[in-house]
Amino acid sequence: MQQPTSRRHLLAAAAGAAALGATASAAARAATRGELSGSVSGHRTGRPAHASPAAVRARAAALLRRMSLDEKIGQLFVIEVYGGTAETEHDRNRALYGVPTPAEVVRKYRPGGVIYFDARRGPDNVQEPRQIARLSNGLQSAARRAGARVPLLISIDQEGGSVVYRMLEPATQLPGNMALAATRSTRDAYDSADIIGTELAAVGINQNYAPVADVNINPANPVIGVRSFGSDTALCAEFVATAVRGYHHGGVASAAKHFPGHGDTDVDSHTGLPEIKHTRSELDRIDLPPFRAAIRRGVDTIMTAHIVVPSLDPSRAPATMSHRIVTGLLREELGFTGLIATDALDMRGATADFPPDVAPVRALQAGCDQLVLAPKLDTAFEAVREAVRSGAVPQERLDDSVQRILEHKLRRKLFPAPYVHERRAARTVGSRRHRSRARQITERTITLVRNENGALPLPSTLGTVLVTGWGTAPLAALARALDAQHGRRTTTIETGTRPDTTKIAEVTEAARTHDATVVLANAAAAGSEDGAAQARLIDSLTATGRRVIVAGVRLPYDIRRFPDVPAYLATYSYGTPSMTALARTLSGEVAPRGTLPVPIPALDDPNRDLYPFGHGLHY
């Protein structure tokens, strides 16, 4: 697919650079030596340019006219690459793309973007700040030396919280959206997005697929949950707009997802195709306001959802493949002029009925600009090429998307300065100031839902604490934080999400010999055997008559399973910062200040609330 660099390509690249008044050839050479400085564009690369919209459009159009068909098609795709440097050889690169290194993948396909993942998925792109910055610089150098020499959008899913995140410590760990909404502080939401954005920009990541704009009105939602700001549309709209502003100040592009709203489903689009049964009036009242708010705030990208919404498209095409939803509703009715990105096209919600040679074409026909993680890239690329040549995708439709992508890259100042400074990245990511602010924000998220007979705070004279329930790492983090208080001694017994009768008996017997027991519950409200088993454990502990405290460390709904527990808190996250904040709240060093961003319905009657939206106790 790689074509030899022709004189026409060289002239096009020179013309594009001249139009921008800058050239990056020296920076590209420095990138290969790891000697780049971010001073080319100021403290934060990726800040929007101040050129007029008309000037940006004209410059993008000039670049577009000089691009070949394959160069245009490449701009549509956002791909993953395997390895921690641009020159790392990896068997998965060979299997997926036929070349060994990330740089060669970029040179072969000339994609518009690359998305980073950590080792849990496999690519292992994000290990530590200097390495990430070096990888970003290497990929940008490869992009600037290939084809039309257009810099990359380098993307990531860094939502905050402990569900969808890629960069681990030393990156600053922030609470997720529902936790932030529990503070009711837009300042906290802004600062959280600003910190994330600043650290991403420092390592050369210029597009964050965040914030989540879904309104989570279904407690059984398996894929959104705490990734949402909550169940209240007005609250979600306010916090989504605030997060967009924070990401922009931090120096990265933002992306509101998952359009037109993924909050009322009990099916995970990673494994199936959910159906949203809201009427159009319900969509206007519940789901669309956060996206409207994001658009008003200037969100750069909106990501589509692999969901069926019959009230918007009776053909039952998934939103990503629906012209009525993507073009008719988002472009024309809501007036969004930025980038429209697909959710990952390798998800089951996309692949079930749309094979690799169909999904990218249908998404492009619907009006999407960025085709994210299309499986079998050679097949997808050839399918789009053939669709354009045959007229199934008009040339104008392709050009519209590429024009928007180029305009976005121009506005984000990527042409003159796509590179970052490795030493500055190491100083910025996980800085003392960022970690201090994150600690303050996290402590305000903890929500005390139930506290009977003075179960909390734990008295300073209380000596022994049993820490049990789900999660080896969260239990260890909580135990460490409790051990540091007043000379307390903790014992840890991990039970998993489905403790059997033997484990329940062991933990119950241990609880009788401790002054208090703290249990971490995870998705205990779910309708699975996992939830029932956790409930049996907690009921057995409560029956001892000892002091028992339960923390729902992901979803706040878990108390539905054990409504009579003496004390219950919601942390919305099981990361170490949240466990440290929980320990300080348990001891009374920090007063609980959070309030529920969702109601908690009764298990036997979903129409009756055990605890209403806005509930939260204090001491």
**Same domain, yes or no, for 235 and 379?**
yes
Q: Which residues contact 255 (CB under 8 A, 6 or more apart)?
A: 207, 208, 209, 210, 299, 300, 301, 302, 303, 339, 341
Q: What is the pLDDT of residues 410-436, one digit of tens each?
A: 999 999 889 999 999 999 999 999 999
Residue 238 falls inside a structural domain: yes
Asked which of 433, 458, 487 is the last residue of a domain, the reply is 433
Asked which of 400, 433, 466 is the last residue of a domain, the reply is 433
- Count the domains in the chain: 2
Residue 394 falls inside a structural domain: yes
Least confident stretch, 47-56, 452-461, 477-486 = 47-56
Q: Give the model's pLDDT for residue 506.
A: 98
**Same domain, yes or no, for 395 and 498?**
no
Residue in 224, 194, 293, 166 with CA at minimum distance from that of residue 554: 224
**Same domain, yes or no, for 424 and 468?**
no
Q: Which residues contact 531 (CB under 8 A, 6 or more apart)?
A: 523, 524, 525, 558, 561
Q: Give the model's pLDDT for residue 267.
A: 72
Q: Give the model's pLDDT for residue 526.
A: 75
Residue 40 falls inside a structural domain: no
Instruction: In whole angstroms, give the CA distance from residue 288 to residue 275.
Output: 16
Q: Is the pLDDT of residue 459 over 70?
A: yes
DSSP 3-state assignment of 371? strand
Q: Give the model's pLDDT for residue 416.
A: 85
Residue 16: which pLDDT band, with cuts at 50, 70 and 90? Answer: very low
* CATH number for position 532: 3.40.50.1700
Query: For residues 445 and 528, is the Cβ–Cβ distance under 8 A?
Result: no
Q: Give the model's pLDDT for residue 438.
A: 97
Instruction: In whole angstroms, give the CA distance from residue 293 to residue 370.
Output: 22
* CATH number for position 304: 3.20.20.300
Q: Give the model's pLDDT for residue 485.
A: 86
**Same domain, yes or no, for 381 and 475?**
no
**Same domain, yes or no, for 209 and 329?**
yes
Question: What is the dihedral sign for C-alpha 600, 605, 610, 611?
Answer: positive
Kind of pairing, strands 447-451 and 567-570?
antiparallel
Catalytic residue among 249, 268, 270, 323: 270
Query: For residues 113 and 79, is the Cβ–Cβ distance under 8 A?
Result: yes
Residue in 219, 209, 185 with CA at minimum distance from that of residue 554: 219
**Same domain, yes or no, for 119 and 155?**
yes
Least confident stretch, 180-184, 214-218, 415-419, 427-431 = 415-419
More confident call, 325 vs 31: 325
**Same domain, yes or no, for 418 and 303?**
yes
Question: What is the dihedral sign for C-alpha 71, 328, 272, 362?
Answer: negative
Q: Rounded mean pLDDT of the chain?
A: 91
Active site residue 270: yes
**Same domain, yes or no, for 163 and 288?**
yes
**Same domain, yes or no, for 410 and 320?**
yes
**Same domain, yes or no, for 477 and 361?**
no
Q: Give the model's pLDDT for residue 349.
A: 64
Residue 61 falls inside a structural domain: no
Q: What is the pLDDT of residues 554-572, one digit of tens each?
A: 999 999 999 999 999 999 9
Cis peptide before 211 (omega within 30 of 0): yes
Q: Give the model's pLDDT for residue 3.
A: 40
Q: Is the pLDDT of residue 9 over 80?
A: no
Torsion (CA) 268, 271, 272, 276 in degrees, nearest 10: 20
Asked which of 433, 454, 479 is the last residue of a domain, the reply is 433
Q: What is the pLDDT of residues 541-555, one digit of tens each?
A: 999 999 999 999 999
Residue 441 falls inside a structural domain: no
Q: Give the model's pLDDT for residue 28.
A: 38
Question: Which domain range does residue 263 map to?
Answer: 68-433
Instruction: In whole angstroms, give the CA distance from residue 553 to residue 545.
Output: 23
Residue 347: which pLDDT band, with cuts at 50, 70 and 90? Answer: confident
**Same domain, yes or no, for 320 and 466?**
no
Token pair 């529902």 in the structure block, residue = 178
Catalytic residue among 214, 343, 369, 558: 343
- Identify the helix (H) or strand (E) that includes residue 585: helix 576-587
Active site residue 343: yes
Kind of pairing, strands 600-601 and 547-552?
unpaired
Residue 35 falls inside a structural domain: no
**Same domain, yes or no, for 483 and 426?**
no
| Inter-CA distances, 89 with 81, 100, 109, 110, 502, Å | 10, 5, 17, 18, 48
Q: Which residues contact 391 (CB under 8 A, 6 or more apart)?
A: none
Q: Is the pLDDT of residue 173 over 90?
A: yes
More confident call, 18 vs 352: 352
Residue 329 falls inside a structural domain: yes
Query: For residues 198 and 250, is the Cβ–Cβ distance under 8 A?
Result: yes
Q: Is the pLDDT of residue 40 over 50?
A: no
Instruction: In whole angstroms, give the CA distance from residue 430 to residue 93.
Output: 31
Residue 302 falls inside a structural domain: yes
Residue in 597, 534, 591, 528 with CA at minimum distance from that of residue 161: 597
Q: Is the pLDDT of residue 21 over 60?
A: no
Q: Give the model's pLDDT for residue 88.
A: 97
Query: For residues 134 and 143, is the Cβ–Cβ distance under 8 A?
Result: no
Q: Is the pLDDT of residue 44 over 70?
A: no
Q: Is the pLDDT of residue 34 over 50?
A: no
- List, in sequence order, every beta strand (DSSP E) within 121-181: 153-156
Instruction: In whole angstroms, give the CA distance from residue 60 to residue 153.
Output: 15
For the segment 60-77, the average pLDDT, to the nearest whole number, is 97
Q: Is the pLDDT of residue 437 over 80?
A: yes
Q: Give the model's pLDDT for residue 365.
A: 98
Least confident stretch, 256-260, 457-461, 596-600 = 457-461
Please state whether 145 falls in left (phi above 0), alpha (psi between -120 and 50) or beta.
Answer: alpha
